[in-house]
Amino acid sequence: MAWPCSVFTLDCSKSLHAAAGPATRWGCATGHRMRLSRVLSPGTTARRCGPTCGAPWSARATRSGCAPAARMRRDRAANWPANSNARSRAWPDCRVGASFRSKIDEKAGIPDPLHATIHPLNRWQRVPPPWPAPTLPPLAPPRPEPLGRGNPPPRTSSSRMTRNFLSLSLATACALGMLGADAAQAQFKTIRISTGFNRPLWVGAPEGDTRLFVVEQVTADIRILKNGVIQATPFIDLTPKVNASGNERGLLGMAFSPNYASDGYFYVHYTAGASPGSSVVERYKVSASNPDVADFASGTTVLSLAQPFSNHNGGNLAFGADGHLYIGYGDGGSANDPQCNAQKNTTWLGKMLRINVSSLPYTIPAGNPWASPTDGILDEIWSFGLRNPWRYSFDSQTGDLYIGDVGQNQIEEIDVEPAGVGGRNYGWKLLEGNTCLGSSAGCAIAPPPCGSAVYTAPIQTYNHGAGCSVTGGAVYRGCALPSLDGLYFYADYCTASIWSLKWNGAGGFTNFTNQTATLAPGGGLSIATITSFGVDGFGELYIVDQGGVGTGEIFKIVPTATPTDCDNNTHSDACEIAAAPYKDLDLNGGLDLCQGLSANKASISESAGGVQELKIHMGANLGGKLYLTLSNVSGNSPGTVIDGVTVPLNLDSTLLSSLTLANTTPWNQSLGFLDAAGRGQTNFTIPSGTTGIAPLAASHATIVFDVGIGAVVAASNHVTVSITP
């Protein structure tokens, strides 16, 4: 097999440049230098292999592809100088070598007639990188490669179809894998994932985020739950602004911008000032330097509403599929809506509002039912006739709005608005559920009678024999429990009863089930005061048990059979991959981050440029060791064997370039030392304006050296990147 002269071992030797200080970083004792030694087989030496500066090749060296008496060419396309000191200067990055005790398995070569290194080379010459010119160093063009663990072929319409099919198959596998033998009777339960919260009211997360954010009512802060652990520092503490006196005041809700990943905005709803005070909606932005902390100084008021009484403040916030913010307000409180606020069109009380917050001050979205500036009705109103819609949510698949409206003394109700349908009157205070109260006391203009067609009936009600205060819930659209897909879960605050149903789209429902016993956590635990149902970044469903100060709990609805969760972040690996396919770029069904190497994206545009962040997770047992991230373009099977370790990259000229051009673009930070936990990062970088390489599919893998024994001791999985025009 042809061996490039850039493959070498590390040999600390006092005879080579004893004055070189930096050598100590690479495993050499003080006053020692690395010796570059040509390796052909175990036990060979520098004398036998030949790259002693100025010395001719030995006869043995001919098997490396160098002719007898030929000299090795150095990396700057010039002959090696005759003295060793000059040689060291001529190879400024000599430490970039691999510490190979034995030769690479010759069977690892690939039959690539253009780029293979299995045929003899007359000499090895490293091509200097062309940066900063907008072309890449020698990334070889792709060759045909069968699908499998190898790289995908260039992106053609056919390959895109294949990739889409694989993604679809993955999602299907996720669904089928969670169901077990009897899909119609999927088993599920609740588990407690955290406790110790201060009267929590809400839990949720931005789409795709593995963290959970928990709103605490009385301490007026938002806590982050990461891998089941409450972070010591709150995401934000709003204590200076919030009045949390009374059962229905405090920090009541939050919502993330639909573009949170890019704009970092989130919204909060709280009560302020001496009772009865006011309800305030504010916008904040996440810290630019720490994703687990918000910038308190970024707070901007969106709107504020004076409250006539201290109860029925609503407090929820939610974004619809239309990208607009929906704000729910109660009727102002006391009892029986003495001011008839729910039927007035000149107040936000007893209403659902819809506003456009893409910029501030907010604007009125086109299509709001009363957006006319001359009709005397507040333009923000979306629907009305509500008593206290303190919990509502959108079906993430259909965009339909589900509202849990708390009743007075008799009836609790669930209302549903089809996506985009506003202008509805739900009847309070003339109607409590479907029960006609007939009262119009306090109304300046008497509302239509109970039987009028202007009122929209709830899809479900229950009387106070079954509870006393409805907690509106959420529609399940997660991955882990496909048999629950489309079911709406809701509860009663007083009895902790939990039900589910499926709206039929026409004012009724099917599949009504009492889930209380099924979702009882067991093990001495109980769910007592349900304040909300939350949805995480992957569509999975949670139950918030308010408790008291320091006793609030978060439960999660999960399959009875525990799914694989290799990173212990409380999210099923299969569901994480279904939501974000780039988390399994080697397509083996497991999270890449649990196999040594993961990436933040699957493709880079050569015209726009970009960085694929390659996160290295090799484990604490390899902490502090030297790592090198390599790349190739010729597939992953059978791979390349080094020191008995199989690296899932076939040997080609791109791999050799990544070896000899470590820590230069595009392989930035490709060589270094792992931290104590065995972590590191390589940034595979394509500068903007690059031309002539797309379409190209490449793979990366990381190898780890133990400098003390002079060997490769571990290799990661491979991850891929598609370079597009």
What pLDDT score does 580 carry?
Answer: 86
- Count the alpha carbons within 13 Å of 192 in the hemisphere toward its beta carbon: 17
Q: Which residue has the higher pLDDT, 649 or 159?
A: 649
**149 in the Ramachandran plot: left (φ > 0), alpha (ψ -120 to 50) or beta?**
alpha
Indicate the SS3 state at residue 700.
strand
**How would residue 72 be classed by pLDDT, with cut points 50, 70 and 90?**
very low
**How would residue 531 be classed by pLDDT, with cut points 50, 70 and 90?**
very high
What pLDDT score does 579 carry?
Answer: 85
Task: Count other C-beta atoms under 10 Å from residue 192's C-beta.
Answer: 17
pLDDT greater than 50 at residue 595: yes
pLDDT greater than 50 at residue 55: no
pLDDT, tens only, 616-635:
999 999 999 999 999 999 99
Amino acid letter, residue 394: F
**How would residue 87 be classed by pLDDT, with cut points 50, 70 and 90?**
very low
Q: What are the structure tokens assigned to 635, written together?
A: 């597939």
pLDDT, tens only, 198-241:
999 999 999 999 999 999 999 999 999 998 899 999 999 999 99
* Residue among 78, 95, 84, 67 at smallest CA distance from 18: 84
**Percentage above 70 pLDDT, the chain:** 74
State the chain's mean pLDDT as an integer: 80
Indicate the SS3 state at residue 446.
coil
DSSP class per residue in 72-100: -B-TTSSBPPSSHHHHHHH-TTGGG----
DSSP class per residue in 638-673: S-EEETTEEESS-B-HHHHHHHHTTTSTTEET-EEE
**How would residue 82 be classed by pLDDT, with cut points 50, 70 and 90?**
very low
What pLDDT score does 303 carry?
Answer: 98
Look at 99-103, 222-226, 385-389, 584-588 and tell me which has the smallest mean pLDDT.
99-103
Q: Which residue has the higher pLDDT, 43 or 592?
A: 592
What pLDDT score does 667 carry?
Answer: 96
What pLDDT score does 5 carry?
Answer: 34
Which residue's structure tokens are 């077990």? 180
* Residue among 282, 273, 203 at smallest CA distance from 243: 273
203 φ/ψ angles, rounded to the nearest 5 degrees: -140, 145
pLDDT greater than 80 at residue 391: yes
128 preceded by a cis bond (ω within 30 of 0): no
CATH class of the 150-180+561-725 domain in this structure: mainly beta
Structural domain boundaries of the chain?
Answer: 150-180+561-725, 192-553
**How would residue 638 be classed by pLDDT, with cut points 50, 70 and 90?**
very high
d(CA 1, CA 105): 9
**How would residue 439 be classed by pLDDT, with cut points 50, 70 and 90?**
confident
pLDDT greater than 80 at residue 102: no
What pLDDT score does 632 carry?
Answer: 96
Q: Given 3-state DSSP classes, what are the helix, strand and coil percentages for the chain, each rounded to the nearest 5?
A: 10, 30, 55
d(CA 143, CA 634): 7
pLDDT greater than 70 at residue 35: no
Task: Count other C-beta atoms under 10 Å from residue 608's C-beta.
Answer: 12
pLDDT greater than 80 at residue 52: no
d(CA 415, CA 393): 11
| 389 Cα distance to chain centroid | 31
Do 64 and 8 contact (CB within 8 A), yes or no?
A: no
Cα R_g (the chain), whole angstroms: 32
* Residue among 498, 592, 481 at smallest CA distance from 545: 498
What pLDDT score does 471 carry?
Answer: 98
List CB contacts of 157: < 8 A, sequence separation 6 or more.
none
**145-171 mean pLDDT:** 33
pLDDT greater than 80 at residue 292: yes
**418-430 mean pLDDT:** 97
d(CA 327, CA 381): 10
d(CA 474, CA 488): 5
| 711 Cα distance to chain centroid | 36
d(CA 257, CA 324): 9
Strands 8-9 and 667-668: unpaired
- Count the alpha carbons within 13 Å of 556 in the hemisphere toward its beta carbon: 24
Do 491 and 533 contact (CB within 8 A), yes or no?
A: yes
Q: What are the structure tokens assigned to 216, written together?
A: 């605490």
Q: Which residue has the higher pLDDT, 30 or 282?
A: 282
What pLDDT score does 670 carry?
Answer: 97
List CB contacts of 163: < 8 A, sequence separation 6 or more.
152, 155
**420-435 mean pLDDT:** 97
What pLDDT score does 571 carry?
Answer: 87
d(CA 489, CA 497): 11
pLDDT greater than 60 at residue 123: no
pLDDT greater than 70 at residue 58: no
List CB contacts of 596: < 8 A, sequence separation 6 or more.
616, 617, 618, 702, 714, 715, 716, 717
Q: What are the structure tokens assigned to 274, written together?
A: 């001496």
What pLDDT score does 562 carry?
Answer: 87
Do 470 and 407 contact (CB within 8 A), yes or no?
A: yes
Q: Which residue has the higher pLDDT, 195 or 17?
A: 195
pLDDT greater than 90 at residue 117: no
d(CA 153, CA 585): 14
pLDDT greater than 70 at residue 653: yes
pLDDT greater than 90 at residue 357: yes
Fold held by 192-553: Neuraminidase (2.120.10)
* Residue among 234, 202, 224, 220 at smallest CA distance from 271: 220
What pLDDT score does 193 carry?
Answer: 95
Do 439 and 445 contact (CB within 8 A), yes or no?
A: no
* Residue among 76, 107, 87, 105 at smallest CA distance from 46: 87
Most confident of 54-68, 532-546, 562-576: 532-546
Q: What are the structure tokens assigned to 421, written together?
A: 């349908």
Strand partners, 301: 282
Q: Which residue has the higher pLDDT, 33 or 624?
A: 624
**538-550 mean pLDDT:** 96
The H-or-E segment that residue 200 falls in is strand 200-204
Q: What is the total residue count of the chain?
A: 725
pLDDT greater than 80 at residue 168: no
Q: What are the structure tokens assigned to 463, written together?
A: 């009387």
pLDDT, tens only, 446-483:
999 999 999 999 999 999 999 999 999 999 999 999 99
What pLDDT score does 125 carry?
Answer: 37
Q: Which residue has the higher pLDDT, 138 or 625?
A: 625
Strand partners, 73: 79
Sign of CA dihedral 366, 368, 369, 374: negative
What's 94-162 look like in SS3? HHHCCCCCCCCCHHHECCCCCCCCCCCCCCCCCCCCCCCCCCCCCCCCCCCCCCCCCCCCCCCHHHHHH
Q: What are the structure tokens assigned to 359, written together?
A: 């910029």
pLDDT, tens only, 559-584:
999 888 898 888 889 988 988 898 99
* Residue among 365, 269, 262 at smallest CA distance from 322: 365
